[in-house]
Structure 1
Amino acid sequence: MASQSTYEFYKNDLSKIPPLRAIAETLVNDKRVRKINAAEAYELAKKQWDVMDTDQKIYPKAAKRLGLPEGATVLNNCHGKIVGRTGQARRFYNNLNGPDQRKVLGDLREAISDMQQRPLIKAEAIIGLDKDLMIRATIVGGEDDAANIFNWLVNFTPYEELAAEYEKSAKLPIQDIIIIGDNLWRNEDPFYHNQGFPQLALVDEECNVIYNFGMRYFGERKKGTLTLAWTSGIRVGMAACHGGIKELDFSGCADENAKKIGQRSIAFFGLSGTGKSSHTNSHDNGGTLPEGFSKKVLHDDAFQIDTANRVCRAWEPTLFDKTDSRPVGHPDWEYMVSVMNHATLEVDGKVLPVGQDLRNPNGRALIDRDVLGEYVNRCKFPEVLCWLMKDTCLPPVIRFTDTYLAVAMGAALMTKRNLAENVSEEELKKLVFVPYANPFRVYELWKDVEAFAGVFECGATGYSFNSIGFWNSSDSDLHAIPLQTSLTLQSSILLDKLEWEDWDLLPGAQLPKRNCMERILPGFYDTYNPKNAENHDDYIQTLKDRFAQRRHFLEQTADLNCKPEILAKLTKVLRIKE
């Protein structure tokens, strides 16, 4: 299905075109704004002042797809103080009062006028890889921002690549997406966020437009585009997923018990640093999957669940991954297309980008999906759905037998900030709530609650994985939870190897039984059993406090208070038993 142009969507009453859409559309249609393709964006990016060429070859298959010259090399776009997302810079136009809307519109028109004094370029892409969910998108920026426009075309799909398929698709009741970016914007008005320098992400999710001003970091363009894509999916009745999902097929296994399981999909929801990509992309879950299995990954960051048709659909053909665990010589470098904020070293006469965050935190790369092995653009409905938490009171894995407890734990997903975000040192230390691990949600939370309730009611089973460590004697003295332990638990869930018992402290939740765990991970049961937590009274009180925080967060969320019956269902189940 395809999206609609501004004229197509509003043609019955053009007076309903919102001002942010009208301003964006006018700039897009300025005949002085030069339309470019990926190859042209690449050549312009090579001349950009903050872009360095390297001797690392772009993955040849990706270079060919993008129309780049043979032997094209990876570009390294380096920034200054800000090397991550700035969520506090977002301003939601439709939530502003009248005077603030008028102020912002004036500042916006002035910003566009400043942009038009420089040579501007635009490019078109298709967001979405499945023929039943595609959105046309346009990005506009200065020639001085060609690197972001090139990376945007790499991250999504240049329009001409899927044009024939797109043009044959039925129309969705959704507008095309427009992204406007200007790195040189400066506005010292305290109304706008200033941390490093002034930044503004101005969002109108109802008309599919975002402005990124004063924001060099490519993640702002990527997540801004995905924000509108996810929201568009919600508008047509699908669940928006900031997560990874893969489909395992055990029908080729020699093990008869595994063979009987057949195909099974599993999804993971978490922020950067919680293990989302590790769980999704691991080749064989650390050697814990049986011989003869096959795996297909949909994506490790963004997809949509279509509950009505019981399928999931991908938005992007590349991965935008951290490279802190990819040193020189790591096999993933073969698949690199572009990097951001990397140190470079001369190695055997070649200038190469180096992972491991030597220059700054949150070094990132755009990596071709071929790195995953076999992948698909749509996969089956997820039978297993996992929230990745950072809560020291939670055991490594919990299964939810109560639908609304599973939904509530996702709605009040507890985690910590990370260095992928442009926040203060104090913010990095705090426990925070990010519903469904999606900091890019721009619609009411109750819509996500209803969507995920539908997913669980249609047959998904909910779990939580704790990736920060489990209480030993205090909130800071923890039993580590190695990634290998979590991967082993994931495989055990997929293969139905775990037996469960009710967790007496949390009705509707279950923990793995001793006997099965002793066979799989000896010592696990005693190490991570809440009954064995030292300073037990302190543990219980902290656990109660954490669930009280969850309830308080949901009760204070304005866009849940407008749905008291939904809020009551969520808060009722988030209670530790006395």
Structure 2
Amino acid sequence: MASQSSYDYYKDDITRMPAPRSIAQTLLLDKRVRRVTAAEAYALAKAQHDVMETDLPIYPPAAKRLGLPDGATVLNNCHGKIVGRTAKARRFYTRMSASERRKVEADLREAVFEMQKHPLIKANAILGLDADLMIKATMVATEDDAINVFNWLANFTPFEELAEQYAQSPTLPIQDILIVGFNHWCTTDPYYHNEGGAQLALVDEDANVVVNLGMRYFGERKKGTLTLAWTSGMRLGMAACHGGIKELDFSTTTEKKFHVLGKRSIAFFGLSGTGKSSHTNSHDNGGTLPEGFSKVVLHDDAFQIDCDQKVCRVWEPTLFDKTDSRPLSHPDWKYMISVQNMGLTRLHGKVLPLGQDVRNPNGRALIDRDLLGVYVNRCAFPDIMVWLMKDTCLPPVVRFIDNSLAVAMGASLMTRRNLAENVSEEELKKLVFEPFANPFRVYELWKDVEAFLKVFENGATGFCFNSVGFWRTSDRDLRKIPLQTSLDLQTALLTDRLTWTDWDVLPGAQIPDKKSVEKILPGYGDRYDPAKVENPEDYAATVRDRFMQRRNFLQNSDLHHKPELLLKLVNSLMVKC
């Protein structure tokens, strides 16, 4: 078997099992908790008060995989005030004092006591589609939260589907993952986050347990589960990636000059709205890839890099995407499995989900991975790693020839909050740091830094794409960077069509040589040359401020426990302007 049961993992000293895992395990083993399949969860979900049936067929291969009846249609689960993730609701058990743990354990026991007054269901899934990295997971919820159970099974893989492969997979020194979800939880205790409703996401990454209380949004179940999967991979020595990766083969192009490139893999790291999925999923980079290439995609959101085996492995067979840019005529609707927080409309006598965030921000859909075209469950080690950054001082693309700088820029990845998160209007305006674009990291930052430094030392080259706009006269008056421009640059990286010149502002970084980039994007030099910005004094002051913020962020992180590593990163971020 792959991961281990609670007893197998803790049997040498059962008293090592933390209370949250014991509480969750006891609930899961209650014989009154009924185990359901994806088809049973789907049938129960249709009876929920907050679930609406549409006339859009579930993508037939997905419906077949999940054992759904013929003619099964997409369900729409709509919430109230909260339609996104709530990071402030997270509490980390491993970081609590002894007295705090006792309080939270008591509150958790009370929540489970209340939960057991409801009919309960549970489901088993397998995380990971590569035979060398599979983890069993179980989720328990109330029967009137069956839609989240169905979506969870659809997002990952129902246990029965991969039971044979799982049985033959190597045993890992990792516990099974346990997820508890109780939407009816209420409290007025000021210890817990209460913005739009009382919420708690209790995380115990060492014990592989997440408890979601008062949280209806499916993204909490998905990302909570992924958080434990990523952390498990990290415990096994792999780099955890909130990103997308694809592998392109140029040996089949009609122009033989590209054959020398062979296969190239490229990974993108960014939060919602930065272009991560657009870059990963683009069919041919907006028509810029040479004719005759072939491509496989691993995933657009979550994977693990194994530096020892020089491979990447995927966790999920589906995508969980925003639908704000998908009108009714968009071809992607064909691949839908389930939707959340969508408006509905009637067209030609059929009730259909309406994207484009008409009802509320952050409308979401579970989409079959067939959308990606040809996909794989493991792919090659990344040749190119791209940080998608929302920093107006950076030109559209920057190359890092210093590995410490590449890691420092990833560890201090600058972005802005977005409507996928349950934050205030003021928070939406702020520049923030999200190391490696992964808000779901629950272990020390220095562990990620070491993991990604190993990736670059093993041959990956680091780049940064600016996905927000480049300085014209100020931080607010920007030159747009269209997605197509970034796609053109992506193809240029993959096909070695750019030559580079040192960026005098940032030692260890390079920008495209004007002659090479102008062949691809005429006018690029005049629009995006940092040496030609208007208000150069303000620009230089802003650059200094941004990189000082980066250095301060790293210096105030847990990297101070690794002083030599911290010094390397901080020194690499010294600018000359």
Normalised TM-score (structure 1): 0.99
2:564 match: 565
Instruction: Calculate percent identity across the aligned residue pairs.
Output: 69
1:234 match: 234
2:216 match: 216
2:182 match: 182
Q: Secondary structure at the match of 1:84?
A: coil
1:96-142 CA-to-partner distances (Å, cap 9, x unmatched) read: 11111111111000000000000000000000000000000000000
1:331-370 CA-to-partner distances (Å, cap 9, x unmatched) read: 1111100000000011000000011110001000000001
Rounded Cα–Cα distance in structure 2 between residues aligned with 1:410 and 1:239: 13
1:273 match: 273
Rounded Cα–Cα distance in structure 2 between residues aligned with 1:526 and 1:509: 20
Q: Secondary structure at the match of 2:75?
A: strand
Partner amino acid, structure 1, of 2:329: G
Q: Superposition pairs for residues 33-72 of structure 1, below 5 Å?
A: 33-72=33-72
Q: CA deviation at 1:329?
A: 2.1
Partner amino acid, structure 2, of 1:147: I
Rounded Cα–Cα distance in structure 1 between residues aligned with 2:327 and 2:430: 30
Q: CA deviation at 1:257?
A: 2.5
Rounded Cα–Cα distance in structure 2 between residues aligned with 1:451 and 1:475: 33
Q: Superposition pairs for residues 47-446 of structure 1, below 5 Å?
A: 47-446=47-446
1:477 match: 477
1:451 match: 451
Rounded Cα–Cα distance in structure 2 between residues aligned with 1:28 and 1:567: 43
Rounded Cα–Cα distance in structure 1 between residues aligned with 2:257 and 2:389: 31
Rounded Cα–Cα distance in structure 2 between residues aligned with 1:93 and 1:10: 18
Q: Superposition pairs for residues 520-559 of structure 1, below 5 Å?
A: 520-557=520-557, 559=558
Q: CA deviation at 1:57?
A: 0.3
Partner amino acid, structure 2, of 1:572: N
Partner amino acid, structure 2, of 1:573: S
Rounded Cα–Cα distance in structure 2 between residues aligned with 1:6 and 1:229: 16
Rounded Cα–Cα distance in structure 1 between residues aligned with 2:457 and 2:569: 15
Partner amino acid, structure 2, of 1:184: H
Partner amino acid, structure 2, of 1:563: K
Rounded Cα–Cα distance in structure 2 between residues aligned with 1:570 and 1:390: 20
2:2 match: 2
- Stretches of structure 2 that go unaligned for 5 or more consecutive residues are none
Rounded Cα–Cα distance in structure 2 between residues aligned with 1:33 and 1:246: 41
Rounded Cα–Cα distance in structure 1 between residues aligned with 2:8 and 2:98: 28
Partner amino acid, structure 2, of 1:243: G
Q: Secondary structure at the match of 1:43?
A: helix
Rounded Cα–Cα distance in structure 2 between residues aligned with 1:282 and 1:315: 21
1:508-549 CA-to-partner distances (Å, cap 9, x unmatched) read: 000000111111000101210110010001000100000000
Matched pairs, number: 577
Rounded Cα–Cα distance in structure 2 between residues aligned with 1:422 and 1:567: 32
Rounded Cα–Cα distance in structure 2 between residues aligned with 1:530 and 1:222: 41
Partner amino acid, structure 1, of 2:564: E
Q: CA deviation at 1:255?
A: 1.6
Q: CA deviation at 1:325?
A: 1.0
1:251-287 CA-to-partner distances (Å, cap 9, x unmatched) read: 1012222111010000000000000000000000000
Q: CA deviation at 1:565?
A: 1.2
Q: Secondary structure at the match of 1:82?
A: coil
Rounded Cα–Cα distance in structure 2 between residues aligned with 1:246 and 1:292: 16
Rounded Cα–Cα distance in structure 2 between residues aligned with 1:137 and 1:249: 35
Partner amino acid, structure 2, of 1:478: L
1:172-228 CA-to-partner distances (Å, cap 9, x unmatched) read: 000000000011111111100111001000000001000001100000000000000
Rounded Cα–Cα distance in structure 1 between residues aligned with 2:334 and 2:522: 38
- Stretches of structure 1 that go unaligned for 5 or more consecutive residues are none
Runs in 1 of length 4+ with deviation above 3 angstroms? none
1:66-96 CA-to-partner distances (Å, cap 9, x unmatched) read: 0000110000000001000000100001111
Q: CA deviation at 1:444?
A: 0.4
Rounded Cα–Cα distance in structure 1 between residues aligned with 2:574 and 2:216: 43
Rounded Cα–Cα distance in structure 1 between residues aligned with 2:167 and 2:152: 21
Normalised TM-score (structure 2): 1.00
1:19 match: 19
Rounded Cα–Cα distance in structure 1 between residues aligned with 2:170 and 2:399: 40
